[in-house]
Amino acid sequence: MTETRPIRTVLVANRGEIARRVVCACRAAGLRSVAVHTDLDASSLHVAEADDAVRVGSYLDVAEVVAAAVSSGADAVHPGYGFLSENAGFARAVQDAGLVFVGPSPDVIELMGRKDRARDVAERAGVPVTPRHEVDDVPPDAYPVLVKAAAGGGGKGMHVVRRAEDLADAVATARREAASSFGDDTLLVEAYVEGGRHVEVQVFGDRHGTVVHLFERDCSAQRRHQKVVEEAPAPDLDPALRDLLHRSSVALCEEVGYVGAGTVEFLVATGADGSQVAYFLEMNTRLQVEHPVTEQVTGLDLVQWQLDVAAGRPLPLTQDEITCTGHAVEVRVYAEDPYAGFLPQAGHVLDARWCGGQGHEVHAAIEGESVVSSAYDPMLAKLVAHGPDRDAAIDALLDVVDGSAVEGIATNLGWVRRLVDSAPFRSGKVHTGWLDAYEGPLLERPDVAPEALRVAALLLGEPEDSSPFGRGDGWRSAGPATPVVVHVAEPDGTTHAVTVDSRSEVADATARGRRVWATWQGQTWVLEQADAMRRTSSAAVGDADVVSPMPGSVVALDVEVGDVVVEGQRLGAVEAMKMELALVAPHAGTVTHVGATVGDQVAMGHVVVHVEESA
């Protein structure tokens, strides 16, 4: 019989919102929590909320994090997600130090954390899989194919290839990303299923041989294989297929003796006749980012389950006792500009305000004034809402977004609101490739909302003289007040004449000096008082300059001075916030300047390559 092992102190080997989530669960369970942090995160919320904190040079330094756990008196280590959560060497080092790793065994992490080996296990367990090809021997008729890193997930090292001539570049890029993110550049090439939906099953196992599922989630709204919106349960799923996914996921976990929280991921394709078929994608041997939607529909605390299982306790419920009620939707809020190619953003956040309350949750890495660094993943928060059905859950989520704002840097908050309220998403038509292929109004920067203009006018119209005689409110001793008009300008110089009326509905806003960040339905506009002498800023570089879109590291340079290139040709790549951004030729011409070398750290706007246009 497996004996229980008391856990009194948990070191949280992560940062941001998931670290706060684990700290909160520890507090609820009466456990002491210890945070780790780098110098950049010394004043972060997860550090302030933990009972104790230890500085580390890097969240990825196995020896340093384990030493921090030992020195802090921790009994267990919770890895969260990302970073070291699926690192078998880390799990083994934690156990070798005499501590409990909150997760599966190192051997199972090693086995299931690799897509190639997990695929073999899935086949043995009778789980359907897609056709596989050797990296250097893909048949001409096999395209499209999916190239992906065998050693990791999260969309890193994953690329769809539709033509044989594009395979070599995709493989080279995927190898670099895989080596950088996972320390292993082994790749897997499988058939790519067009128009498939990403459906995953939440599983849990204990040390007593019991494995259960906690139903499924749909995570089909993705960009570059990075999830944006998740929901539970998966809509419009054939009941027989739903049952197959549940049963096969449990069978897969039983095959390897799985312990703890995990996710078995599938691609669900729908045929012309409406029939559905599923293919195994991978298994994540950790808690998922999107676990809150499962918590919302089951009413269970998955982190508490993790802590209980790690301590050797049996699962608190049997399969028959686990129920799914209503529907839940979650959106991820990223520091990125959706209207500039989703480029990651970093910098000073003037204010981050979140709307939490009955029936919905906010899991945020930042609140109030803070700094977002380019050193880490750009996800700032997750907003979650629950309702009796899918439409009600979406409506509730819109209310959560409408009550939230991030001002100071660009985010996707307003864009993701438009996405979940769009007809394709509401109708359940979004598949894993939909966003990458989409071209339409969702990608167009919305015009400034009247509500944003009104709040800017109210704030900008306030005089420096706050006495009754200095106010510009249009008051008159006889007759109605004279309307006050404030001229509000956008960054491009567009000017709006706005009549100030404090009775009108206005947006949330943050003012700094004579500039206002105004937010309406999640979208933020930067506005200022119009100046007749003001000139519209022009680009600092010419059309022939290919610049770094944000601070990052040059990871590839494919050209040198004198090379002749064609429009759209890849010239190199910059890696920033765990994303590799291709640099492409703006037109046909000759390379006359290369302003960096591979490995250089460059600032946003740095001219990496200059292409002189052909005559």
Q: For residue 532, with 0-12 CB atoms within 10 Å meaning exposed, 13-18 middle and 19 or more buried, which class applies? A: exposed
pLDDT bracket for residue 473 (50, 70, 90) = low
Q: Say yes or no to pLDDT of 117 above 70.
A: yes
Tell me the β-bridge partners of 204: 212, 261
463 has a pLDDT exceeding 80: no
3-state secondary structure 80-103: CCCCCCCCHHHHHHHHHCCCEECC
Q: In which order are the strands placed within the sheet that holds 552-557?
A: 579-584, 570-576, 552-557, 601-602
Q: Which two three-digit tokens encode residue 533?
A: 């002498």
For residue 517, pLDDT over 80 is answered with yes
Residues 6+ apart with CB under 8 A from 331: 228, 229, 382, 383, 397, 401, 416, 417, 419, 420
pLDDT at 484 over 90: no
Q: What percent of the chain has pLDDT over 70?
A: 93
Q: How many helices (H) and strands (E) does the chain have?
A: 15, 36
Please say whether the beta carbons of 217 and 234 come within 8 A.
Answer: yes
The residue-averaged pLDDT of 11-40 equals 98
Mean pLDDT of the residues in the chain? 91
CA dist list (Å): 585 to 35, 111, 606: 45, 42, 15
Domain regions of the chain by residue span: 9-102, 131-191, 197-443, 450-529, 545-613
Tell whether the model's pLDDT for residue 92 goes beyond 70: yes
Instruction: Return the CATH fold of 197-443.
Output: D-amino Acid Aminotransferase; Chain A, domain 1 (3.30.470)
| pLDDT reading at 606 higher than 60 | yes
* pLDDT of 541 over the 50 cut: no
CATH architecture of 545-613: Beta Barrel (2.40)
Sign of the C-alpha dihedral, residues 41, 43, 46, 50? positive
- Of the pLDDT bands very low, low, confident and very high (cuts 50, 70, 90), residue 271 is confident
> Which pLDDT score is estimated for 127?
87
Among 6-20, 46-60, 66-80, 450-464, the range scoring the smallest mean pLDDT is 450-464
Distance from C-alpha of 386 to C-alpha of 399, rounded to nearest angstrom: 11
Q: Taking 60 as the threshold, does the pLDDT of residue 475 lie above it?
A: no
What pLDDT sits at residue 467?
Answer: 54
Model confidence at 580, in pLDDT bands (50, 70, 90)? confident
Which has more pLDDT, 261 or 194? 261
Average of per-residue pLDDT across 73-84: 96
Asked whether the predicted pLDDT for residue 476 surpasses 90, the reply is: no
CATH number of 131-191: 3.30.1490.20
Among the listed residues 12, 22, 14, the one whose alpha carbon sits nearest the alpha carbon of residue 76: 12
| CATH number 3.30.700.40 given to 450-529 | yes
Q: Please, which pLDDT band fits residue 538 given cuts at 50, 70 and 90?
A: very low
Residue whose structure tokens are 């090693």? 110
Distance of CA 137 to the CA centre of its chain: 34
From the CB of residue 469, how many other CB atoms can be counted at a distance below 10 Å? 6
User: Which uninterrupted H or E stretch holds 281?
Assistant: strand 276-284
Lowest mean pLDDT among 62-71, 83-92, 371-380: 371-380
3-class DSSP assignment, residue 227 = strand
pLDDT of residue 582: 86
Mean pLDDT over 133-157 rounds to 88
Can you give the pLDDT at residue 393?
97
* CATH of region 9-102: 3.40.50.20
203-214 pLDDT, tens per residue? 999 999 999 999
Out of 126-135, 289-298, 526-535, least confident range: 526-535
310/614: higher pLDDT: 310
Q: What does each C-alpha distance from 233 to 328, 330, 357, 387 come to in angstroms?
A: 7, 12, 22, 12
pLDDT at 391 over 90: yes
